[in-house]
Copies of this chain bind each other. A is one copy, B any other.
Amino acid sequence: MGATRHLLDEDAIPTHWYNVVADLDSLPPPPLHPGTGQPVGPDDLSPIFPMALIGQEVSADRWVEIPAEVRAAYALWRPTPLHRAERLERAMGTRSKIFYKYEGGSPSGSHKPNTAVAQAYYNAQEGVRRIATETGAGQWGSALAFACTMFGIECKVYMVRASFDSKPYRKTMIATWGGECVASPSADTAAGRAILEKDPSTTGSLGIAISEAVEDAATREDTKYALGSVLNHVLLHQTVIGQEAKAQLAEAGATPDVVIGCAGGGSNFAGISFPFVADAAAGTGPKIIAAEPAACPTLTRGHYAYDFGDTAHMAPLLPMYTLGHGFVPDAIHAGGLRYHGMSPLVSHLVHEGVVEARAYHQNECFAEAVRFARAEGIIPAPEPSHALRALREEVEAADAEGVERTFLVHLCGHGNFDMSAYEAYLSGTLVDHELPQDELDRAAEDLEGLPALPA
């Protein structure tokens, strides 16, 4: 046997978030106002975000201090363990070393609370009494509901219909923490009503749910908006993951050759990888791989362009890889990876060649998830099963080359709420669809007429 877990002392919870912007040679172009097409300023954002987060969104400081209250909340589940996956290595028959960082021990079961508690804290500090948000798989919505109860704030969650129906227990979890959760599109917003009128049976999308939550926040004096991924400040908060992993690997005497995470909006991926980016960009760090679903291949088949972050054109235009803001992917089980766009910072790093992207189908990802569960005991969420699929590819490549490599893979959440997905996989009823190019071409028509990225 010989599982090896590397735990850090509670005092080793990072004291600062790491801002990758400080270490980039070039920066992504600025977000643009959805109405005017001009760069977004603090005044544009202040109706929906607290000032502290707006400051972090545009900060160029390398280190941002983590408030004591946020670190105290982190202590409920941080530092998270780094495991050496010795059983998986043996099952694979590889001589390479595999480490995984596990964020599933948080109260809501994923990495999402890392930014949720930070956002709830800053909102509470600025007197905000209610937060509206969207959620895909439900991980973010439940994380925010948890964070809001920690800081005494009300929480309203617009949950993508596809996940709302397939994961009903997320709604109960949110309610247990005192939050309210509705299926999106909902009748509670103008954006939701408009979409329901056009297509009453839509399975929804993150883009639609974002429109609803932003509208809610923009139209209520007592309410701000919170986003669970994509934006710079959200990615910033997640860097506690990679910082801890770096320290734990050092303690284990290991240096990663390859770092792998899944990418939906980009936040768990940024969390594990950004602390390694400066080294990677300099050619001295690990290869960094982002794994995404073939059903929503933003990085591998999307366009690098300005696009709306949401469906109803209420959110800023972001410079990012996108499939078009009207793209509605199949209702795959990895609901957290169904976003049409991608964080500007992750997009920029992919565009610069610092990060490599891969896309995989559901069945091959669940196959890896089940292998992982049987070897390592932890049942992964469908999202990080994409990272495990990329890991398999990389391990086999190392074996074929006859080299031993050290891998760091990010297990950003557990699959306790995804048992219906596992049931479907194990019973052989999951079908993989090839996404036709003409469907992608049609979706990309949404990009026509939008401002072009600077050359």
* Residue positions of A touching B, CB distance < 8 A: 1-7, 9-10, 68-69, 72-73, 75-76, 83, 87, 105, 107, 109, 146, 149-150, 168-169, 172-173, 175-178, 370, 373-379, 415-417, 419-420, 422-423, 426
Contact = CB atoms under 8 A, between A and B. Distances in A.
A72 B146 CA distance: 32
A318 B72 CA distance: 47
B379 A173 contact: yes
A173 B419 contact: yes
User: Which of A4, A178, A419, A420 gathers most chain B CB within 10 Å?
Assistant: A419
A375 B176 CA distance: 11
Contact of A426 (B87, B176, B415): B176
Contacts of A73: 1, 3, 377
Contacts of A379: 107, 173, 176-177
A76 B376 contact: yes
Contacts of A178: 374
Contacts of A10: 5-7
Contacts of A105: 105
A3 B74 CA distance: 8
Contacts of A5: 10, 75-76
Nearest to A71: B1
Contacts of A420: 169, 172
A76 B83 contact: yes
Given A5-B10, A416-B109, A416-B417, A377 B76 contact: yes
A330 to B, nearest CB: 22
B1 A72 contact: yes
Nearest to A379: B176
Contact of A75 (B4, B76, B416, B419): B4
User: Which of A7, A10, A76, A173 gathers most chain B CB within 10 Å?
Assistant: A76
